[in-house]
Structure 1
Amino acid sequence: MSLSPAERYALSRQQRNRPRLAEFAAVQRFDLDPFQLASCGALDEGRSVLVAAPTGAGKTVVAEFAVYLAMQSTDEKVFYTTPIKALSNQKYQEFAERWGADQVGLLTGDTNINSSARIVVMTTEVLRNMLYADSPLLDRLAFVVMDEVHYLADRFRGAVWEEVIIHLPEEVRLVSLSATVSNAEEFGDWLQAVRGDTDVIVSEERPVPLEQHVLVRQKLIDLFDSSGQAATHRVNPELRQLARGNAGGGGRSIGARSQRGRRGGDRGRFHRPDQGARMDRPEVIAMLQAKHLLPAIVFIFSRAGCDQAVRQVLRSGIRLTDASERDAIRQIVEARARLLRDEDLAVLGYWEWLEGLERGVAAHHAGMLPAFKEIVEELFQEKLLKVVFATETLALGVNMPARSVVLEKLEKFNGEARVPITPGEYTQLTGRAGRRGIDVEGHSVIHWVDGLDPESVASLASRRSYPMNSSFKPTYNMAVNLIDQFGRERTRQILELSFAQFQADRAVVDLARTLRKQEESMAGYEQAMTCHLGDFGEYSGLRRRIGELERQASKGNPTHAQRERIQRELNGVRKAMRAHPCHGCAEREAHARWAERWWRLKKEHDQLQGQIRSRTGQVAKRFDRVTEVLEQLGYLERDAKGELVSTAAGRTLKRIYGERDLLVAECLRRGLWDGLDAAGLAAMAASLVYEPRRDDRGVEYRLPKGRFRGALEKTGDAWSMLDDLERDHRLTGSEAPSPALAQAMWSWASGAGLGSVLEDTDLAAGDFVRLTKQVIDLLDQISIVADAPLGSAARAAIDAVRRGVVIDGAVA
């Protein structure tokens, strides 16, 4: 981006004062933007930084400067954490190219490369585990980069981000990279509170401007009015008219700004458009190609939809590549897929997939084999692929910018119902549009569908993303680790530092402010209802009780005994009211009006006090319940001084991470899995890590023979006991273990081929690989903490399942 004379002058002064920043900036492909300069400047001066900027704005430059600073010293280290393994693999490759493979490591649970390197890329969970284990790898750690830190809001894994931020050594500088969340300043205030000096840098400027369009039949219409006579975010009048069923209007459309479409023939049909007139996918691709809007990512919120879209485009005969590009594609694919077995390639639909790649078209979703996804990413980055049909998982972190992004729908299935996408999701998806240094502008294209409201689309496109709310809650593993390290009371204080409690406390401050205002108003009402004859508050209480009793008598169908009881009390209260001194006051009704206002406000006041009580110390309250469960089960005990300490079982629990930490520890302690062979233990691990789909529940499954069935039954009994105990202590229970994939994992561990395993499970290859890697992760933990026979079985199980597509094509 071009700088103004004032900005260029400020930059030259800054570079003179900061030689390291000047040297770093000199080798970048682009001039650093103001937000990048401010962020890097903060790091250069020894502070931590939170950078919130749109997708594609160049936040990672700040992370790269942190790496640069660490590498200027003789032995300082930097950890780069990511939420997903694909992003870890990508960053590992980039850093290895820049700094040399001997200087870079990768730790993702199932991959361990050069862990003692000075630059180590890892998933956030790996760093959390290091902190709890007080790993020697933390020595000389100068910086931690937390990429996609807004993942902290994820309800399943988000707590790990907070654990890392709270427990990192004080001297480590934190580089937090976030999407443009609407409460970045609040998050920055929390970082300042728990980490010390932290600059909050927010930029909402895209380096490549985004042009947004709606595709109506064969015509791309600008979402916002581009006539130059209106405000930037005013909806195009033509779209408003189409939404009202009127095809007239004078808006402008891309590539045909002088044309007005077929007004007469289309009139009145856009609210319920003729589906036959909507362009099919091959036509949309051809139109994008004609308007020079490729390469494009088409987001379809369904894996099956992505695969179907590729087949549809291939059937149309579209070819988007030339001969040299096809040769380059085949060369890359054959080099990357050479480790895959021929029989597996057939199962994976390799030849059809390769045909799509050679014609410039591919799918990208979590059901694909990781090696296939990585090849698609590489080909797209090399500008060899022209169209990728992807699910929203592509929007997270992976570097795949396009000229255009197409959204076929603005709603998706969330596992329970179809829901509209959020402003944050829209920002993430459209953030892929526009390649810095290549495109003058990026383009987003939204398909017109029946009932589309242009105003709602405009609000999605113009709002500042979404708020980031904490999902932090203490777990059993967290509790024993922290109590062992700090003791119970210090742990409670540490947990009060969480972003969850920070947000709750902020809310409490606002509630308390409202409470004080209410109390001032109530004092005024109390003064206004003061009666010289007696206590009017007491008198008004009698009047209100009469009203309550009269409502009770008239409501429902009370029994004879209930009617008699109500009548007796009513007579007594009426008698007391008539005998009260205030009953004879000449200004009684005036006082009563003020009293009624006081009572109404008191009701609101009491409700507000309840909210404050529920939010104050909410994290510590949950921690107390967790520790009660652990003490009752014998994972924690009291020492001679009455302090909580971990037992031998608790020390085992310290090294078990995941949703089922307590259940795994309990099964190990009771010896429920003793005697299982490698395949049986792999099947048990699959039953614990697999999250059942809705249609899996209540189904009878084929189970492995032998000791597995008895062990599974005992595991189910242990889960039931723990679930009851948790509910007794007002903790949320968990889902029962699901053996839906136990037979498949047993077969795989026993040497079955990929084809037969996938056929039995109805799983996509990518899902099977992901499940197997989760199984490996759990088995690895068991192999470390279990006694010899079971530990040996766990190691044998890892060897049995870590084969074929599970490891082929991986970075390791």
Structure 2
Amino acid sequence: MHMSPGADPQLKAVFTGIGVPRNRPFTPDRFQTEAVAVMAESDCLVTAPTGAGKTWIAVETIRRTFERGGRSWYASPLKALTNSKLIEFSEIFGPDNVGILTGDRKESPDAPIIVGTTEILRNQLYDAMHQGISLNTDLVVLDEAHFLGDEERGVVWEETMIYLPPRIPLLMLSATVGNAGAIADWLTTIRGRPCRVVAETQRPVPLYPMVLHPSGTLLPLKAKGGRGARTLHKRVAGLVAGKRKPEPHRRRGLPPFGDILRVLKAFDLLPAIFFLKSRSDCDAALSLCHGAVNLSDAKKARIFERVKTLTGSSPHLVRHRQRIHLEQAGVGAHHSGHLPGWKLVVESLMSEGLLTAVFATSTVAAGVNFPARTMVFFNSDRFNGTEFIPLDATQLHQMTGRAGRRGMDKIGFALAVPGRYMDLQLVARLLSSRPGKVISRIRINFSLVLNLLLSHTPAQVEELLKRSFATWLLVSKAADSRRKSRMAGIHEVLWEDFVRHLDFLKETGFVGDDDRLTADGLWASQLRVDQPLLVAECLRQGLLPDGDAARMAGVFACLVNERETDDRMEGRLVPNRLKKTVVRIQKKLSGFARHMKSRGFDVRQFYLRPAAMTHAWASGYPWETIAREYGMAEGNLAMLMMRTADNLRHTANLIDVFPDAAATAREAIGLIMKTPVVEETDEGDAGL
């Protein structure tokens, strides 16, 4: 049963607004010029919708610093975003003036403009505090500053803000957040210099939300001028009120993507991004799109040539199984299960206007420059790693931020498709809601404790913890001075956890009774990894397979793996020497691990499967064979290799203390960081 393209009469006037804006000379918006002016005298937190032009502010602020002979540090959460900024800034300021630091790459570290990941910046602040010097930069830009509230990585943003010397101006670029004023007030308090908020709430391209009726008719989500309970359009309200959840006829268990593309094509609503709940759905969707939108021979030829150029240096990408969908139907899939190089191919084609549609998971909503005219979504909930929970306003705003391309569209569209997992009333409410508030994610871990003790006494650390955003938020909420005095002790929760970590470090010889790092503590502080004490104990006991780089890589894969893994494998997939090494390390570390657990610290289980996969790759086995025989998606496999290399780098830096282990770790990085894990320009141990 095919959909028949149709549209509610109310949409006729809306669709007349579709088109490309007139090409006018660029004129910065008020909020952009205001933010640049603010940075001349104070810190600044810029909050604005996706695509509003926050990067222009960074460029102008960096330009001013550069022209004065100063140095700038631009930090972002994603390596892909950092790599794109390297290209962009190199075109503006000249390639000789821009360097990059991401762990994978270390190029021109003394350049006056550095782009890198926030973790690298935080580590440089650790080193500067230890050496008693100030960070060698005159400006710091924190992109995606709302990552302060990220559950996993927010602690890095908060540490960076706390440790950054007040003399260094701080520019923060953020998606719209509900408590920007609180963040600015906190920074003003702890840094002793004013921090001002510059906010832009208007989208650069207006957004119009719609609903797709199962028949193929497009409906406005909201009634014209409707408010409160009557917000929904009458026909949409009828869909919601029905006893059965209406949804389009499904094919192969999936929505009829080809029919939906025909509807969008009929009303000039392409290109589109389809947000789907799983990676497998994104991949399976592609074959349902062939024939839905016919590509001209000229466009097919352009796509073919671009794909040929983008994949030419990688045999893995040249024969990618999804290449045919790009070249014949103009559609692609984008998710974390794909190789970084393949995702870059899809991103490039979409940004160049060559694709009709991309099927993606939420990774596209976070940090990837991937705009389209229409955003299509089928779920009003998301998987948080444990369970499905309803979307919040911030998440939905981030998704819809990809709808409508500045300079290319006069209007963008968000299309909700009814179904079992779509709450249209929730969507209508969220679209008109303010984004959520950012909360503190600071937490104590061994790497933080070791690095603070490089340059601080415990008493000084306690003062630092009092400066946390978590403490400030709770104190600021206190209604009266008596309650404020009581709430001021909330930092004690963090302090008690710090002391618990400190006591364990003393028990295990990394910190002395004088609260100073021992010789072991000094080198262990350089292990800025997930499980620094387990790596340190391996080094202290001489458990790492020095001289065998492939086995070294396999062992480190055990240390970085976070997932429960099925270790049932054919014997041929696990080399005996590797298995003996991993089992021996587990046995030798068992006492240390029991000690950690007895003090309430988590210890991850070692799994052989990630070790065996990494060992096979380091030993020269074909990439496709490893992915197939060990049953892991290529993107996950590449991520395992990159995280393993990140951890190996920290051991490789201990060349003065453990020369054999460091040399083997360095060699292991070279064995696993090769195409298709990284592009040829990023190969080798450039990150060392």
TM-score (norm 1): 0.76
Q: Using the TM superposition, give the Cα deviation of residue 153 of structure 1 relative to its aligned residue in structure 2, in angstroms.
A: 1.8
Give the one of 201, 207, 210 matched to 1:213.
Answer: 210
* Secondary structure in structure 2 of the residue aligned to 1:40: helix
In the alignment, which residue of structure 1 is the partner of 2:9? none
* Secondary structure in structure 2 of the residue aligned to 1:746: helix
In the alignment, which residue of structure 2 is the partner of 1:620? 495
Alignment partner of 1:458 is 2:410 = no
CA contact (8 A) 1:692 1:738 kept: no
Per mean C-alpha deviation after superposition, the further-off stretch among 715-724 and 420-429 is: 715-724
In the alignment, which residue of structure 2 is the partner of 1:90? 84
Q: Using the TM superposition, give the Cα deviation of residue 305 of structure 1 relative to its aligned residue in structure 2, in angstroms.
A: 0.7
Q: Using the TM superposition, give the Cα deviation of residue 773 of structure 1 relative to its aligned residue in structure 2, in angstroms.
A: 1.2
Partner AA of 1:424 in structure 2 = T
Cα 1:674–1:306 shift into 2, 3 Å = closer
* Secondary structure in structure 2 of the residue aligned to 1:207: coil
CA contact (8 A) 1:370 1:810 kept: no
CA–CA distance in structure 2, aligned partners of residues 240 and 355 of structure 1: 37
Partner AA of 1:709 in structure 2 = K
In the alignment, which residue of structure 2 is the partner of 1:525? none
Partner AA of 1:183 in structure 2 = N
CA–CA distance in structure 1, aligned partners of residues 422 and 515 of structure 2: 59
Cα 1:419–1:634 shift into 2, 3 Å = same
Q: Give deviations 1:754-807, integer Å, cap 9, x for gaps.
A: 121111221122221121111111112112225122222212212222223123
Give the one of 175, 180, 205 matched to 2:176.
Answer: 180
In the alignment, which residue of structure 2 is the partner of 1:432? 402
CA contact (8 A) 2:262 2:293 kept: no
Gaps of 5+ in 2: 1-22, 684-688
In the alignment, which residue of structure 1 is the partner of 2:64? 69
Cα 1:614–1:308 shift into 2, 3 Å = farther
CA contact (8 A) 1:363 1:389 kept: yes
In the alignment, which residue of structure 1 is the partner of 2:273? 297
CA–CA distance in structure 2, aligned partners of residues 433 and 95 of structure 1: 25
Give the one of 557, 573, 583 matched to 1:686.
Answer: 557
* Secondary structure in structure 2 of the residue aligned to 1:624: helix
Alignment partner of 1:104 is 2:98 = yes
In the alignment, which residue of structure 2 is the partner of 1:57? 52
CA–CA distance in structure 1, aligned partners of residues 194 and 396 of structure 2: 32
CA–CA distance in structure 2, aligned partners of residues 280 and 461 of structure 1: 26
In the alignment, which residue of structure 1 is the partner of 2:196? 199
Q: Using the TM superposition, give the Cα deviation of residue 331 of structure 1 relative to its aligned residue in structure 2, in angstroms.
A: 2.1
Partner AA of 1:631 in structure 2 = K
TM-score (norm 2): 0.89
Q: Using the TM superposition, give the Cα deviation of residue 381 of structure 1 relative to its aligned residue in structure 2, in angstroms.
A: 1.2
Partner AA of 2:288 in structure 1 = Q
CA–CA distance in structure 2, aligned partners of residues 390 and 328 of structure 1: 23
Q: Using the TM superposition, give the Cα deviation of residue 274 of structure 1 relative to its aligned residue in structure 2, in angstroms.
A: 7.2
CA–CA distance in structure 1, aligned partners of residues 105 and 499 of structure 2: 36
Give the one of 17, 29, 33 matched to 1:33.
Answer: 29
* Secondary structure in structure 1 of the residue aligned to 2:402: coil
Give the one of 756, 759, 763 matched to 2:625.
Answer: 756
In the alignment, which residue of structure 2 is the partner of 1:224? 222
* Secondary structure in structure 1 of the residue aligned to 2:609: coil
In the alignment, which residue of structure 2 is the partner of 1:782? 651
* Secondary structure in structure 2 of the residue aligned to 1:484: coil
Q: Using the TM superposition, give the Cα deviation of residue 286 of structure 1 relative to its aligned residue in structure 2, in angstroms.
A: 1.1
CA contact (8 A) 1:224 1:235 kept: yes
* Secondary structure in structure 2 of the residue aligned to 1:617: helix
Q: Using the TM superposition, give the Cα deviation of residue 234 of structure 1 relative to its aligned residue in structure 2, in angstroms.
A: 2.4
Cα 1:452–1:411 shift into 2, 3 Å = closer
Q: Give deviations 1:48-81, integer Å, cap 9, x for gaps.
A: 101112112222222122211112212x111111
Instruction: After TM superposition, list the pairs within 5 Å mapping 1:308-707 onto structure 2.
Output: 308-314=284-290, 317-341=291-315, 345-346=318-319, 348-349=320-321, 352-450=322-420, 452-507=422-477, 509-510=478-479, 615-638=490-513, 643-675=514-546, 677-693=548-564, 696=565, 704-707=574-577
Alignment partner of 1:799 is 2:670 = yes
CA contact (8 A) 2:300 2:328 kept: yes
Cα 1:230–1:159 shift into 2, 3 Å = closer
CA contact (8 A) 2:86 2:100 kept: yes
Q: Using the TM superposition, give the Cα deviation of residue 750 of structure 1 relative to its aligned residue in structure 2, in angstroms.
A: 0.9
Q: Give deviations 1:489-526, integer Å, cap 9, x for gaps.
A: 1122112212222234335x25987799xxxxxxxxxx
Cα 1:186–1:732 shift into 2, 3 Å = farther
In the alignment, which residue of structure 2 is the partner of 1:121? 115
CA contact (8 A) 1:243 1:452 kept: no
* Secondary structure in structure 2 of the residue aligned to 1:806: coil
Partner AA of 2:644 in structure 1 = V
CA contact (8 A) 2:651 2:662 kept: yes
Gaps of 5+ in 1: 1-26, 246-268, 517-608
In the alignment, which residue of structure 1 is the partner of 2:239? 242
Q: Give deviations 1:244-267, integer Å, cap 9, x for gaps.
A: 22xxxxxxxxxxxxxxxxxxxxxx
Q: Identity over aligned residues, as a percent?
A: 31
Q: Give deviations 1:119-158, integer Å, cap 9, x for gaps.
A: 1110111111111122999765111111111112222222
CA–CA distance in structure 2, aligned partners of residues 132 and 400 of structure 1: 35
CA–CA distance in structure 2, aligned partners of residues 723 and 28 of structure 1: 64
Cα 1:738–1:219 shift into 2, 3 Å = same
**RMSD over equivalenced CA pairs, Å:** 2.8
In the alignment, which residue of structure 2 is the partner of 1:589? none
Instruction: After TM superposition, list the pairs within 5 Å mapping 1:150-169 onto structure 2.
Output: 150-169=146-165
CA contact (8 A) 2:326 2:332 kept: yes
CA contact (8 A) 2:271 2:372 kept: yes
CA–CA distance in structure 1, aligned partners of residues 203 and 295 of structure 2: 30
In the alignment, which residue of structure 1 is the partner of 2:16? none
* Secondary structure in structure 1 of the residue aligned to 2:516: strand
In the alignment, which residue of structure 1 is the partner of 2:3? none
Per mean C-alpha deviation after superposition, the further-off stretch among 152-161 and 702-711 is: 702-711
CA contact (8 A) 1:50 1:177 kept: yes
Give the helix-richer structure, 1 or 2.
1
CA contact (8 A) 1:272 1:451 kept: no
CA–CA distance in structure 2, aligned partners of residues 441 and 232 of structure 1: 26
Cα 1:801–1:385 shift into 2, 3 Å = same
In the alignment, which residue of structure 2 is the partner of 1:148? 144
CA–CA distance in structure 2, aligned partners of residues 236 and 636 of structure 1: 66
In the alignment, which residue of structure 2 is the partner of 1:281? 257
Give the one of 283, 295, 307 matched to 1:307.
Answer: 283
Give the one of 95, 111, 133 matched to 2:127.
Answer: 133
Q: Using the TM superposition, give the Cα deviation of residue 723 of structure 1 relative to its aligned residue in structure 2, in angstroms.
A: 4.7
Q: Which has the larger radius of gyration?
A: 1
Cα 1:661–1:140 shift into 2, 3 Å = closer
Q: Give deviations 1:250-306, integer Å, cap 9, x for gaps.
A: xxxxxxxxxxxxxxxxxxx76455746997110111111111111111111211111
* Secondary structure in structure 1 of the residue aligned to 2:653: helix
* Secondary structure in structure 1 of the residue aligned to 2:148: helix
CA contact (8 A) 1:109 1:126 kept: yes
